[in-house]
Structure 1
């Protein structure tokens, strides 16, 4: 099958490498003037992996879309609306399957990425999300993991799983798009919180963060019309090891650097997500104490140590 991957950052390049590895013809698209694209064009590799010679690199969206039956998108979540708008003008888009491989929410509106994409495309397409735990650094060293494909059309879900399954990634069928998308996005906020705890040598509190974080997000998912149990699956709790503990996690490293007063130069999607959660908390009238605390630390200049201690160490209440 012909597959295009739109976005040639760390994750997009890995996805091109992976779907090629499982036997597909792959075209990898990047913006002509982006540092990632220029680097791949010149050296056929990035910091994580070499790009196989028969993966075609291109900078034409029209060419990438017309080439493929399935199109994987891996860009910054906050760029998705404008990018989808750009895609909507391409004539050959009808009937194709798009797979969103990013974890986030639209910062200003709190909307899920499938909603954002659907609003802008406005054409007859198939849409799915690919979420769950896993780092490029582990996968390229043949360390396997489990992930989730979710869609509102179970036949599309099954087809994607059939095409992409391997010994390296075992896929599960996602049955709850709301829960899977909210879970995947919000685990990045918990990752920032975990990094802050690490920065204060409060790593032992990450167990409390996991227990209370899952409860908090499950309440939000239920209020939004999803299945609260989804949060205890791979998209959220299942991704905690990779996000709260892994040396590779950008969000954890961002949180740690933030409280240590250091600059972290890479994308931490949880920063935008926590803005979106502020909006969702109001829309659905659901208290999100951990997310609110992280928002106040990042955007209201609240003292991080005092705020986290208040959150975890001082309330006296029944657990359930």
Structure 2
């Protein structure tokens, strides 16, 4: 895809960071926001102070509150809406989206009521659009580091390999390396579920349990992600890659992770309402915990960490009690699925 107009919706931290990547690739980037004040600040001062403090944005990023102005004649459209707003945003872009435009989403979550993945939501809202042109972007990537051009590696997945290559070409540069993957569901599931484990990692740190506990939680959390992902039709190999273990590591260990910070506050005794009010930004792991808990029942998949976090978030259980319950579970083989299938043998 040649250098041309590209669009990013919405102007949160991650959307703005992706806009800077596109701008570094010499695209004319239009960043959509509902806030006239935010649009005015970006256009006048080249800053998005609410989300990225004093970061100076490139001159070839402009902001608008008009969906039509943002999307009309755009050859690449990136949707970075919170999961609960995805359907509404896509519905709004439908009249202006070019049939040959590349549509990429970088949202990590499920639709709360339907439990649908974001690409499914997008497909439903764009019935006339070629669904082979829908791409998901995921991987270990904090906005705060991307805008500083710190080396970052992500993955894009699409049903059509040519579409994935087009997204790779649009975004790839010297500091933002893009891999391709055909497993759309796996990339979406891994990106969503790691936020649950990051909540748990933050909670463990907030309780002062140390690195041993966090390492165990991350490892067993990855097993939960892979179990549910496989039940939902994803490739287990995807969870060993950037959208799985890669994203899990960065989200569970970084000071930039809002899910870790939220979990840390919960571990220190804060109530969920207080945490969300203090954060001032969407914490996808909270909604995803509720969705994953429902999905584990739907697919009959055991997810003890998710279940424990669900009890803390929504049923008032104390974080310390939830961890003690997890440690008190009946011991089993590390490779449960292999053992149960009869492929594990002891000498």
Query: By the TM > 0.5 criterion, same fold?
Result: yes
CA apart distance, 1:37: 3.3
Aligned to 1:46: 48
Contact 1:179 1:221 in 2 (8 A): yes
Contact 1:9 1:36 in 2 (8 A): no
Contact 1:8 1:28 in 2 (8 A): yes
C-alpha separation in 1, matches of 2:299 and 2:237: 18
CA apart distance, 1:29: 1.1
C-alpha separation in 2, matches of 1:131 and 1:91: 25
CA, structure 1 residues 273+38, in 2 after alignment: closer, same or farther (shift >3 Å)?
Answer: farther
CA apart distance, 1:92: 4.3
User: After the TM superposition, which of the residue ranges 47-56 and 110-119 deviates more from structure 2?
Assistant: 47-56
Aligned to 2:342: none
Aligned to 2:254: 246
Aligned to 1:284: 299
Gaps spanning 5+ residues in structure 1: where?
A: none
Aligned to 1:113: 118
Aligned to 2:82: 76
CA, structure 1 residues 42+142, in 2 after alignment: closer, same or farther (shift >3 Å)?
Answer: closer
Gaps spanning 5+ residues in structure 2: where?
A: 336-347
C-alpha separation in 2, matches of 1:272 and 1:294: 11
Deviating above 4 A after TM superposition, structure 1's stretches of 4 or more consecutive aligned residues are none
Alignment of 1:196-207 (within 5 A): 196-204=203-211, 205-207=213-215
* Count of aligned residue pairs for this structure pair: 318
C-alpha separation in 2, matches of 1:46 and 1:58: 13
C-alpha separation in 2, matches of 1:289 and 1:198: 19
C-alpha separation in 2, matches of 1:247 and 1:190: 15
C-alpha separation in 1, matches of 2:146 and 2:282: 20
CA apart distance, 1:59: 1.4
Alignment of 1:101-180 (within 5 A): 101-125=106-130, 126-180=133-187
TM-score (norm 1): 0.94
CA offsets, 1:186-214, max 9 Å, x none?
01111100000000111321111121111
